[in-house]
Structure 1
């Protein structure tokens, strides 16, 4: 597990020095490219890592055997499997491309908002890169595309947002629910028609494809740790209520979503902790993105809590990861192994 901790602190240290050294654009992008390639060389060639590793092999075999038959709405992930098989890369090709997509979209999202991408990845990596990325391969792609898509929504480019969410849903159909954010700036009285005729049918479809989450016997106490990240993020937003109220309508309501989603997911976990846990992965990077965007617009006064937002969120994520590392019975499944090198602990 040491490789994960080294990754978190490497990302945070890179963020610290990049922010203070004021690198020119060429050096900055070279540093970013080198780090991305390093992470890809490590995590893109993982081997038998994650609780669902062998389940994904079964999905791979099913998709390859039924290449011309409709077996799933997640056609992007299906044909990634089929393409990898046709190129002779097997499941390892799928894992490599999935990791590449996770890294590229996750770094591009903060960069589009002028947020330090190293800090952003350091904050979300315990959840997004490790807990989800090392296990929930298809959903980690969808989550990465979603957080990239949100940057277009924040710029009021709704067509681009919708297109990217549809792309995300081709890798994990649960992402289709995030189309509801298209209506986030509607007046309240105009929300009823899309809720009745769009959102409810989509929810029904998601429940149809993921109904097995209600019967899951898996260990799902992790939802508390995931929601545990959202609480400090919500507190940081509410602690700066005056700035929050001055945001444009889309950003204001996205922040409101983060404030409300933690309690909502905890309530949903009573019905299905697996379902609540899976959806928490979409909101963790969103919360980090929203808070860190406010950081770059704050005056960085010593008395301003937002000045310390990145370290606060980083320590929250690390604390949750350590608790998961110590308490989870799934840790043996997450012991890192590389396809070409000896296993590392």
Structure 2
């Protein structure tokens, strides 16, 4: 477990030392590249880590018998193309995982750089989003990383088009990302009606490109089979509680113009998933889609020290509480989660 704890302690230590708004330490190119490299290499060079490891080996094997056009027209073409490139070069799974790890890490670090305490964002992300999702569910990990790039484009650039393009790219790795497109329409301020029209058109196009031929299999595979996901209630609560705090203490959180609508909608959706989990016959389906709402955790928890400031000198007590909470999440998951044995021990590819 030591590699996982080192991966957490580095950003946690930086988070305890950083001050709000002092982005210089993460904006400097060497440290920025270092954060991306550390996360990307840990994710990319893992060996037999994650519950879906066997499935990803099967993807690589199948890609050997595909042509380029076959890969391009396959389901989840972004991920299949990566496997096709790997199978036609060195034929090693680490190349696919490394590409996925770097894409995810770029998305996470880019999102973190837009927040007042970027290292705290990364520290909060490591226990579940990095270790469990990015290392365990490669395709969806990439999709979430690309989704965070879309959030940056929507909030910072106020560009609905860029958001849709990033989501389309994400959907090429995991089709469920298409479900986030309507959030853009609901999060626009001025010109929201025209934006809603264009987002609606984009949603229809992306649906037929990525989801239309797989809805039946989704329904039969998850809903009708009533698949249950261990710990789904806890993971959805991890989104719901920060969302409730955001909605209750809205005035304590500073927002950029138009940013409030995005986080309000994602917060409400997180709370809706609590109800959906209760009424849905398949907790697995709800659990997997709810992963796209993890950025709400990163946004709220990393801003708690500024929403509830302390006058004490030295380490901010709220920062310490968030770091300790994140450490507890990591400890509990690694030691007590039902499938954590698929992650432990961490094995590094070159050393196996």
TM-score higher than 0.5:
yes
Asked if structure 1 preserves the Cα contact closer than 8 Å seen for 2:140 and 2:174, the reply is yes
- Structure 2 gaps, min length 5: none
Over the residues paired in the alignment, what is the CA RMSD in angstroms? 3.6
Corresponding position of 1:101: 103
1:204-219 correspondence runs (5 A): 205=212, 207-208=215-216, 210-211=218-219, 212-214=221-223
1:25-64 correspondence runs (5 A): 28-64=28-64
1:284 aligns to 2:294 (yes or no): yes
The DSSP-based 3-state class of the residue aligned with 1:210 is helix
- Which piece of structure 1 moves more, 89-98 or 167-176? 89-98
**Which deviations, in whole Å up to 9, do the C-alpha atoms of 1:183-231 show, x marking residues without a partner?**
1136899999789877689397363353323366866122122122223
Partners of 2:49 and 2:348 in 1: CA distance: 9
Asked if structure 2 preserves the Cα contact closer than 8 Å seen for 1:108 and 1:148, the reply is yes
Asked if structure 2 preserves the Cα contact closer than 8 Å seen for 1:226 and 1:284, the reply is no
1:238 aligns to 2:247 (yes or no): yes
TM-aligned CA deviation for residue 29 of structure 1:
3.3
The DSSP-based 3-state class of the residue aligned with 2:64 is helix
The DSSP-based 3-state class of the residue aligned with 2:351 is coil
Partners of 1:116 and 1:262 in 2: CA distance: 25
Asked if structure 2 preserves the Cα contact closer than 8 Å seen for 1:84 and 1:94, the reply is yes
TM-aligned CA deviation for residue 291 of structure 1:
5.5
Name the count of aligned residue pairs.
Answer: 337
The DSSP-based 3-state class of the residue aligned with 2:90 is coil
Corresponding position of 2:87: 85
Asked if structure 2 preserves the Cα contact closer than 8 Å seen for 1:147 and 1:286, the reply is no
1:37-186 correspondence runs (5 A): 37-67=37-67, 68-69=69-70, 72-111=74-113, 113-155=114-156, 156-185=158-187
Asked if structure 1 preserves the Cα contact closer than 8 Å seen for 2:140 and 2:173, the reply is yes
TM-score normalised to structure 2 length? 0.81
TM-score normalised to structure 1 length? 0.82
Asked if structure 2 preserves the Cα contact closer than 8 Å seen for 1:228 and 1:320, the reply is no
